[in-house]
Amino acid sequence: MKTIDVVAGVIFNGSGDKVLLALRKPEQHQGNRWEFPGGKLEAGEALQDGLVRELQEEIGIVVTQCQPRTIIEHSYPDKQVRLHFWDVTAFEGEPAGCEGQTLRWLALAELGALEFPEANQAIVNELLAAAIK
């Protein structure tokens, strides 16, 4: 199976204690679960360019500061993904669900109560651990 490269943003608020999540539509892959906004990298596209493009398209923000956080590879029964997670620590504009998706700012400590795609378990645990420091 071909691995799909995906780039997604862990978007922090100004004080760094909340992140912005989007609810995947029921009909999407891993539907009705919370995701870090992002999407598929285009052929030949640099990771940072893909991140900036996806966050502009999906939530209407312009990323002004970001750093790579972690890469997670995961095999779902129907597809294989390589998720490139980037921290987004500054952006311009007010986030909006440009594709009709629900957005929510959640405190790091609240992430444990939500349903995420299976592949996100390690990154969610990492963010939860950061919440109790």
Interface segment toward ligand 8GT; rule CB under 6 A; list 12-20, 25-33, 60-68, 105-113: 25-33
Q: What is the DSSP pairing of strand 3-11 with strand 80-92?
A: parallel
Site for ligand 8GT in 114-133 (CB under 6 A): 117, 119-120
Residues annotated within a binding site for 8-oxo-dGTP: 24, 29, 35-38, 120
Q: Which residue has the tokens 């999540």?
A: 21
Per rule CB under 5 A, is residue 97 in the interface with Mg ion?
no
Q: Binding residue for Mg ion (CB under 5 A) from 30, 39, 48, 106?
A: 39
For residue 67, the Cα-to-chain-centroid distance in whole angstroms is 13
State phi, psi for 31 to the nearest 5 degrees.
Answer: -65, 155
Site for ligand 8GT in 40-99 (CB under 6 A): 40, 79, 81, 83
By the 8 A CB rule, do 22 and 81 touch? no
Per rule CB under 6 A, is residue 9 in the interface with ligand 8GT?
no
Beta carbons within 8 Å of 90's beta carbon, 6+ residues apart: 63, 64, 65
Closer of 98 and 109 to ligand 8GT (Cβ) = 98
Provide the minimum distance between the beta carbon of 132 and Mg ion in the complex, in angstroms, as a whole number: 30
Which amino acid appears at position 62 of this protein?
Answer: V
